[in-house]
Amino acid sequence: MAKLTLSQFQHLFSQASLRSEEIPVDSVLLGGIIPGGSLSSDAALEVYRTGHIVRLTEALGETFEAVWWVAGDENYFRLAKDFLLTRSSASYNLSDFGQSFPDFLAERQPFSDLHFLADLARFEWVFKEVFHLPPHTSLTPDHMQQHLLSGNLRLSFGPSVRLFRSPYSVYEIWKIRGTVQTSLPEATWNQPQYLLCYKQNQQVYIKHLNQPEYHILEFLLSGCSIDEALSETIQAHPDLGEATVTNLFATLAQTGILTGLTNEP
C-alpha cells in the first residue's frame, strides 16, 4: 500500500473520528496504522471517535446545564450525540461549541411536552456570553442625575448588557436546575418572560422587566434617544405610564449598566 501523505492521513483520520458507528472505517486508514496495546485497528480508532463524542458532549453540557437537567441523562446524551455528529466544531475553542444547539432543539422539538427547551438553551448561551464579556465602569448616580432629564439623551451601555425574551419562563427553570423535581408543572414555565442580563463586579445578574420596559430598553440599546425610545414604545403600549418609565430609569441607575450619556441629536 502506498504511503499516505500527512494531509491524506489527517483527512481520513478526521472522517473516521466523526463518522457514526454504523459506517465502517476507510480500509486505507485501517491498513495505514498500527494499533497500540492489545487493541485492534478498529478499536484504536474507536478510542479517538468515542473520545470526541465524550469531549464535545461534556463541553455542551457545561454550557447547557439546565437543558441537560430537564432532558435527563439518557435524552441529553442522545441529543448531544445527534447534534455533534451533524454540526462540526469549527472554532479552536471548545467552549464555543453549541452556538447552534438552541436552533437544533427548535428544529427537532425532541419532546412534545417541553416546548421551552430551545428557549432555555438560548438563555443559557446568552448567560455564557455575558459571563465572558469584559467588565465596565458604570456612570455614577450623580452624573446620571444631572443629565437624565433631557429627552435628547442617548445612552451608552456596558458591553455585557443583553436583553432576553421568551414566551416561556425559562429563567425560573434555569434557577432550579440540578434540584430534585419529579415534574415541571406547566404553570411554572408557561408565562412570557422579559429579562435584562448584565454583569457587575464579574457576577452575572438577571433582572425581570415588564414588556414596555423591555421595549424601551431595546430601543435605547439600538441607539435611540430617550424621546425616540419612549415615542416608539408608546405606539405599541398606548397605556405606558410614568411609573413604568420612572421604574426603568431607577433600574438603570441601580444596575450600573450605563457607561455614558451623549446629547447628540
Partner 1 sequence: MPQPNIGVGLRPTHYPYLEPRPQTNVTWFEAISENYMDTKGRPLDMLELIRKDYPVALHGVSLSIASTEGIRQNYLHNLRDLVEQINPFIVSDHLCWTGLQQQNLHDLLPIPFTDEALNLIIDHVDQVQTCLGRQILLENVSTYLRVPEADWAEWDFLNELANRSGCRLLLDLNNMYVNAKNHQFDPYVFLEAIPTHVIGQIHLAGYTDMGTHLFDTHSKPVYPEVWDLFSSLIARAPEVPVLLEWDEDIPEFPQLEEEALKAAHIWTYHHGQTHTQPVSTPIFSSFS
Residues near partner 1 (CB under 8 A): 3-7, 9-11, 13-14, 17-18, 32-39, 41, 43-45, 47-48, 51-52, 55-56, 59, 88-97, 131-135, 199, 202
Please, are residues 258 and 208 in contact by the beta-carbon 8 Å criterion?
no
Between 47 and 184, CB nearer to partner 1: 47
| DSSP string for residues in 39-66 | --HHHHHHHHHHHHHHHHHHHHHHH-HH
Between 162 and 215, CB nearer to partner 1: 162
Q: Distance between CA atoms of 149 and 130, rounded to whole angstroms?
A: 30
Taking the complex as a whole, the smallest distance from the CB of residue 174 to partner 1 amounts, in Å, to 18
SS3 209: strand
Q: Where are the alpha helices (DSSP H) in 109-241?
A: 117-132, 141-147, 170-175, 211-221, 226-236
Between 80 and 117, CB nearer to partner 1: 80
Taking the complex as a whole, the smallest distance from the CB of residue 160 to partner 1 amounts, in Å, to 9
Neighbours of 31 (CB within 10 A): 10
Angle subtended at Cα 214 by Cα 99 and Cα 192, rounded to the nearest 5 degrees: 70
Between 52 and 115, CB nearer to partner 1: 52
165: phi then psi, degrees, rounded to nearest 5: -135, 150
Q: Which residues pair with 197 in a beta bridge?
A: 162, 206
SS3 184: coil
Between 33 and 153, CB nearer to partner 1: 33
Taking the complex as a whole, the smallest distance from the CB of residue 29 to partner 1 amounts, in Å, to 10
Please, are residues 220 and 212 in contact by the beta-carbon 8 Å criterion?
no
Between 11 and 237, CB nearer to partner 1: 11
SS3 8: helix
Taking the complex as a whole, the smallest distance from the CB of residue 135 to partner 1 amounts, in Å, to 7
Taking the complex as a whole, the smallest distance from the CB of residue 159 to partner 1 amounts, in Å, to 8
SS3 91: coil
Taking the complex as a whole, the smallest distance from the CB of residue 158 to partner 1 amounts, in Å, to 11
